[in-house]
Amino acid sequence: MKEIDVLELKSWRDNNTAHQLVDIREVYEYEAGNLGGEHIPMGEVLDRQSELRRDIPVVLQCRSGGRSAALLTALEGHFQMDNLYNLKGGAQAWSDHVDGSVEVA
């Protein structure tokens, strides 16, 4: 499984490196605070997998990285996607190390 840490993701964003950030948390978590990624709740991702880009890196993000890691493994297995990255530490790591104003539910 490929992972990216929050400082590398920040660098991608600062440098306009092409990527798709997908927040897989529940609605209440996303509404409490988010990183501006697309919101596709975990329970919907397999049905909505066609919304995931295949031509650029796709970063999956949850609260702490556990749910997104599990989903990444499922997507790789079911859909042979090889452009997926897990955001190590998730939104909590982003709040702790990049932007403390992001609230994490």
pLDDT, one tens digit per residue, over 11-22 is 999 999 999 999
pLDDT value for 105: 86
CA–CA dist 10, 69 (Å, integer): 19
What architecture is domain 3-97? Answer: 3-Layer(aba) Sandwich (3.40)
pLDDT tier at 10 (50, 70, 90 boundaries)? very high
User: Could you please report the per-residue DSSP string of the chain?
Assistant: --EE-HHHHHHHHHTT---EEEE-S-HHHHHH---S-EE--HHHHTTTGGGS-SSS-EEEE-SSSHHHHHHHHHHHHHH----EEEETTHHHHHHHHT-TTS---
Tell me the whole-structure pTM to 2 decimals.
0.96
